[in-house]
Structure 1
Amino acid sequence: MPETTSTARAGASIHRQPIVHPDRSVFAYAVRGRVLGPDGVPLPEASAEHLVDAAYSLIDPDLVAGTRPLVVRATRRLLADPTPFLGAPHGLTLELPPTLVAEADVRAHLGALAEADVRVALADYTASPEQDALLPHVQLVKVDAAADPAVLADLVARAVQSGTVVIAERATTRERVQVALDVGAELLQGPLVLNNGPTTADRAWGVSEIQCLELLRLLSEDAVDQREVIRVVQTDPVLTVRVLHLVNSSAMGVRNKVDSVRQAVVLLGPRHLGALATASLVGATPASMEALWYLLTRAYACGGLAGDDVGYTVGLLSAVSSYLRVPAANVVADTGVSSDVADALLHRTGRYGPVLAAVLAHEANDADGVRATGLDEYEVAHAYLDAVPRALALASNLAAAA
């Protein structure tokens, strides 16, 4: 696990969240940059734009957004010239923070953006006079799902009346989601795995699912028992087919076809095997690829911060618990994982607890939550962004192998 470092950084951390429909299917991915001051508090956007622009220049729209539109928090430079993101293959939306809305020449830029087929969103909508003046010229509006319900209802009504689509940000609890939908928000921004309904404590696992959980348990050990892993894979026809399909795919780069489960297990390694087990649990189909991408991103981020495969498995088990709405206590009991893994999943303590807590807080855009873990927000954001393209590649391969 990395050592705690200062929260003061000279660069911008990039934050990415899904924007989803009420059924949690992905509409787009939102990206923004944030720069922390020496006290760990984010600097005002206007004073840190040059660092955000530098971070934006390193982003590949294809790898960040996949097959969905990209929504980017605008800077002055990006508002004047969105060229760095015009290559987004499925459309670009620039969201204007209040500081840019107040700029004198903002309407001239909106005309140029329309000609470039770039949509515009109002960020942090509070019905200020400057924002209301732009409502006829934008397509989307972002409101805070944590606002007082009466205030939220008024803001949504204003935006809807102008013909815009409303996105409720900070939709991080079921209560916020329900209130936002009740008052008319059409889209939600927050953790993708926030499913409807309570957790299911009495869920019965199928035979194949039990095999997948057993595989995840084996992969959570510091010293993985290769023979037991091979045995579990060989005794499950679905896992056997997927292991062989993945190892023989072009993504793995093997020269000769592999027909042996034993050889395939060795070639794939713990992380690919854990992803296969997760894909079997959540349903790795092209339709579910977006969800699998999100879950694997959590796993890769945890593994990157922890520096080992056990951290990766902690992320996988946390993702499975969230996505299937099974209490973490049930996952721990049904897998029989080690105390290190159990402490992380149940209490966010032990060797891997702070790593998991930091990644979950980052997914919720909870900067205070990340800092409370003792990990550096910049490092967490960097690990998460690094995880995004790796998870996309693996999720695409697994969905194709389904």
Structure 2
Amino acid sequence: MNHTAPQTGLGPRLEARHRTTVHRETIVAVDNSVLGYRITVTLEDGLSLTSSSPQVRDEILHEQYLALDLASLVADRDVFLPAVGAMLDGFLPSPPGGSRLVLDLPHGFELREDASRRATALRGLGVELGLQAFAATPQQIALLPALDYVTVDPEVLVQPLEDVVRAAHAGGVRVLATHVHDVHVQARCLVAGVDALRGGVAERAASARQLQGPKVLSPGQLQCMAVLHLLHQPEVDLSEVAQVIDTDPVLTLRVLHLVNSGAFALVSRVDTVQRAVVLLGVREVTALIAALAIDARTGAMDSLWQILARALTCEALAGDAAAYTVGMLSALIEQLGVPAEVVLEKVGVSEVVTDAVQDQAGELGPVLRAVIAHEACDTEGVVDAGYRPADVSDTYVTCLADALQTARAAGA
């Protein structure tokens, strides 16, 4: 799929230092499975470039997209990228194994005289195509045979959503909805037949809790909270952790399965939870317990991946191991859909962690606020929390790779 990258002729202008932010939006199908991730790269304002023309910036962005480690950003899910720079000419990044590359065509692409020809050429390279701001206009309808996806924004759409979705489906194209930040709009999308929702996962979960009331922890989740309580003590007693795990057959089997999996390459098999817990260590056991707490969910690996990425990023930015706990518990609470106070009481964390998780306040509140804002593609929120967006982005991207490795091992 990769062509040789074109010569940009930018010369010394690209030698100037420039920072980027990388954002990742989850695309969730109607059955709550993760369909893929949309990755966007933006240039930080105030670049010290000798030229700030749109062409130069577009060429720089294109190089940034080509340099992405997509495997650490999307795993084996489909990767959705906006078409920038020379992508429309076929100079494309290669998706990870098991993934498909979906190229989001620029706004107004359907109005170009060569739209059909270019779209057909890209399809010939094995790329799937999506069209933004779909409203079932005549030009958009004419382009449907070359498309795989269209994206609608229910909040700005003038036509009835049902009619627009019906038109796309008649052309054999799947419909994504964007800016769906509450369950009311989500319900409209589902009734209209939208195939998947883009972004806004945390906001929809919070809205659902307000409407439906908080969930309660299941017996298995309560057992997980008991183990997390022991793992978050100032002095962790691994023998006590092992005793609690031993009382639950599911926990016992998963711990032994994990330690004996290929992820640890042990010479001999481990037959006791006591030995397994010692070999795994506090951090790995914590990840496994988080995985078990959300194990019944569709797309549990992706959920655990997000939990661990937030935890690792908070820790790296704050330089404090307690920030890992803040990030992990805040994300776990979101995934479980239970009140924060319930989990915090069961786990029994410090006042510093409680203040950060419950109110994003105190010593560790700003770092959690910055990371959550980054996950929501809210650059202003990152700045308001006292962090540079590019710094948070760089750290998050690095931690995503580490989190993916742990999430895969915990789900083995």
Q: Structure 1 length as normaliser, TM-score?
A: 0.82
Instruction: Return the letter of the residue paired with 1:342.
Output: T
Give the counterpart of 1:32 among 7, 30, 40.
40
Aligned-pair identity (%): 35
Tell me the amino acid that sits aligned with residue 68 of structure 1.
Answer: R
- Give CA-to-partner distance per residue, 1:191-213, whole Å, 9 cap, x none: 4464594365462541x433321
Aligned AA (2:216): R
Q: Deviations over 1:204-263 (max 9, x none)?
A: 541x43332133234345554545444434444433333333233221244444445444
Flag the 1:381–1:331 CA change in 2: closer, same or farther, 3 A. Answer: same
Match of 1:51 in 2: 60
Equivalent residue for 2:397?
Answer: 385
User: Residue 337 of structure 2 corresponds to which residue in structure 1?
Assistant: 325
Aligned partners of 1:200 and 1:327 also within 8 Å: no
CA contact (8 A) 1:13 1:378 kept: yes
Q: 1:211 to 1:44 in 2, by over 3 A?
A: farther
Give the AA of the match of 1:297: A
Contact 1:296 1:316 in 2 (8 A): yes
- Distance in 1 separating the partners of 2:263 and 2:298: 17
Question: 3-state SS of the aligned residue for 1:120?
Answer: strand
Q: Which residue of 2 aligns with 1:6?
A: none
Counterpart CA distance in 2 for 1:387 and 1:183 is 37
Residue 141 (structure 1) aligned to one of 129, 138, 150: 150
Do structure 1's residue 174 and structure 2's residue 183 form an aligned pair?
Answer: yes
Distance 1:270 1:145 in 2: 45
Aligned match of 1:268: 280
Cα displacement (A) at 1:348: 0.8
Distance change (3 Å), C-alpha of 1:149 and 1:377: farther
**Alpha-carbon contact 1:143-1:169 (below 8 Å) kept:** yes
Indicate conservation of the 8 Å contact 1:13/1:55, yes or no.
no
Aligned residues: 388
CA distance in 2, matches of 1:303, 1:268: 20
Equivalent residue in structure 1 for 2:379, among 363, 367, 371: 367
Q: Secondary structure at the match of 2:103?
A: strand
**Are the aligned partners of 1:221 and 1:310 in contact in 2 as well (CA < 8 Å)?**
no
Question: In the aligned structure 1, how far is the partner of 2:329 from the partner of 2:54?
Answer: 36
Is the Cα–Cα contact under 8 Å of residues 32 and 299 in structure 2 kept in the other structure?
no
Which amino acid letter does the alignment assign opposite residue 104 of structure 2? Answer: E
Kept in 2, the 8 Å contact 1:285–1:399? The answer is no
Q: How does 1:28-107 map to 2 (within 5 A)?
A: 28-38=36-46, 48-85=57-94, 88-98=97-107, 105-107=114-116
One of 216, 221, 224 as aligned partner of 1:203: 216
Change (3 A) 1:94 1:217: same
Deviates more, 1:266-275 or 1:110-119: 266-275
Are the structure 2 counterparts of residues 62 and 108 from structure 1 closer, same or farther at C-alpha, using a change threshold of 3 Å? Answer: same
Match for 1:337 among 340, 349, 373?
Answer: 349
**TM-score, structure 2 as length reference:** 0.80
- How many Å apart are 1:316 and its aligned residue? 2.3
Partner of 1:114: 123
Q: 1:240 aligns with which of 252, 259, 268?
A: 252
Aligned residue type for 1:339: E
Distance 2:237 2:165 in 1: 55
Structure 2: gaps spanning 5 or more residues: 1-16
Contact kept, 8 Å, 1:220 with 1:338, in 2: the verdict is no
**C-alpha distance in structure 1 between counterparts of 2:141 and 2:218, whole Å:** 52
Q: Which range moved further: 140-149 or 283-292?
A: 283-292
**8 A Cα contact 1:358 1:370, kept in partner:** yes
Deviations 1:267-299 (A, max 9, x none): 323321111111121117996333333333333
